[in-house]
Amino acid sequence: MLVYLGLDFGTSGARVVAIDEANQPIAQASYRYDSAASTSWSTWKTLLFQLIYQIPAPIRRAIQRIAINGTSSTVLLCDRTGQPLADPLLYNDDRGQSELPRLRDYLPADAACRDTVLSATSSLVKLLWWQRQPYYADACYLMHQADWLAFLLHGQPGLSDYHNALKLGYDVVQLAYPDWLLNWDVAPLLSRVLAPGTPVGAVVPAIAGDLGLSPNCQVCVGTTDSIAAFLASGVTQPGEAVTSLGSTLVLKLLSTTRVEAGTYGIYSHRLGDRWLVGGASNTGGAVLQQFFTTDELEQLSQTIDPEKDSGLDYYPLLRPGDRFPISDPHLLPRLEPRPSDPAAFLHGLLEGMARIEAHGYKLLQRLGASPLSQVYTAGGGAHNAVWTEIRARCLGIPVQASAQIDAAHGTALLAKQASVLNTFG
C-alpha cells in the first residue's frame, strides 16, 4: 500500500488526511483552534506531530510523501536555526500598513507583483515591518506557515513554493525574484522557491522514528489553504471553476491566460503552465448567519422556488465595502426593501449573492480569462441545493458540489502528484 499525507493549517483549525493510490481518504484527524492556538507557533508545532501520530500506525509506515498548506501571508521571522524570533504575523494582520509608503516609493511602476504586495497584509509588507524591530538583527529567514511546518519535518530552513511566495514579490511568470527585490537589503531572508509539491528531502531520521514513518518518507514544499481547497475539487480543465461559499464568496477559475487587475481585486496564481484567476467578495455565509440560524436556513430554503426571480435587488454585505467584483471600500449594503416573509427575504439574499458570483465570473472573462464552462462548489453553502439551483440559473451553466472540499485532501493530492506541474501542463 502506498499512502500520501496532506496537512491543512487553516484559519479555524488544523486537519490531516491520508489518501491511497486511488485518491481515496483512508484516515483523517482534525483539531479546532481556540483563540490562542491560531497565533501560536508552538501550538502549530505540537499539532503537526499530534495529527500525524493520530493516523493509524500501519498507514503511517506506508506514507510516501507529505505536503502541508498554510494560510496565505501568515509568516514567521526565524533565526539561523529556524527558531521563530517573535509571534507569527497572521494572514489578516495589517500592522505593516505603515510600511506601504516606503514600499510604494521603492517599487518600480511596472513591477509585475505591484497589486499583490501593495497591501497592508502582504508577506513583503510584514517583512518590512519586522525590519523595524530590534530582534530583526538575529533574523536569517522569513518563512510562511507552510514553509516552517515542512521545515520541522525535513530540517532545511529557507524553502518555499510559488503560491506562498506570490505576496512576497516572487515573479510567477519568470519563476524568479525580480531584480528590484534581490537588490533590497531584505533579500538575504528570502527563501528558495520551488514548484508546489516538489519533494525536497526525507523526514529527519529521529522524527521519522518517533512518528513511526518510513525512513524514506519524503516531504514536499506546500501551498496555501485556498489553493489546496481548489486542488481537492479535482478541476483540471481550463474554464472549470470553484466557488467557495464560506463566510465570504471566493471565485477561482482555471485559465490558459493570466489576469491581473488590482483595481478589481483580481490576481492569478500559477498552476504549471496555466493560471488560477480569482477574486473574493465580502458577501457570503456570514451575512446569512446575521439573519438566520442554521436550522432556519435549511427549513426556509426548502420553501423557495429556485426557478422564480425574487423580485429583490440586494447586494448583501455585513458592513460597507467590497473587494470584488466591485472594488469599493465604501460600497453600501443593499438589503431593502425587506419582506415580512422570512423565506422571501432569504430568497432575495441567496439570489443577490448568486448575481454577485455571476458578475464576478463575467468580469474575469471580460478581462481575458478562459470562458466559464462548469462551476464546482466548496464550503458550507455547497450543501444548500436550492441555492445551487439559483446560482445555476444566474450563471447559465452547470453547478455542482466538489467531490472533495477538504483542503487537507487537496494537499495530499499535491503530495501524490509530487508537483502541480505534472497535472497542469
* Cα(228)–Cα(380) distance, integer angstroms: 16
The per-residue b/e assignment along 288-300, b for 16 or more CB within 10 angstroms, e otherwise, is beeebeeeebeeb
Instruction: List, for the chain, all residue ranges whose pLDDT scores fall below the cut of 50.
Output: none
* Cα(122)–Cα(167) distance, integer angstroms: 5
Q: What is the pLDDT of residue 214?
A: 97
Q: What is the pLDDT of residue 425?
A: 52
Cell numbers that stand for 72 in this block: 496565505
If DSSP codes are grouped into helix, strand and coil, which group holds residue 121?
coil
For residue 70, give every residue at least 6 positions away whose Cβ sits within 8 Å of its Cβ, in sequence order, or none.
9, 144, 145, 146, 147, 149, 164, 222, 224, 225
Q: What is the pLDDT of residue 424?
A: 58
Q: What is the pLDDT of residue 247?
A: 83
* Residue 295 vs residues 288, 301, 400: alpha-carbon distances, Å: 12, 10, 22
Cell numbers that stand for 306 in this block: 429556485
Considering the entire predicted model, what is its pTM? 0.88
For residue 29, give every residue at least 6 positions away whose Cβ sits within 8 Å of its Cβ, in sequence order, or none.
15, 16, 51, 54, 55
Q: What is the pLDDT of residue 111?
A: 85
Q: What is the pLDDT of residue 2?
A: 96
Give the residues across from 176 on adjacent strands: 171
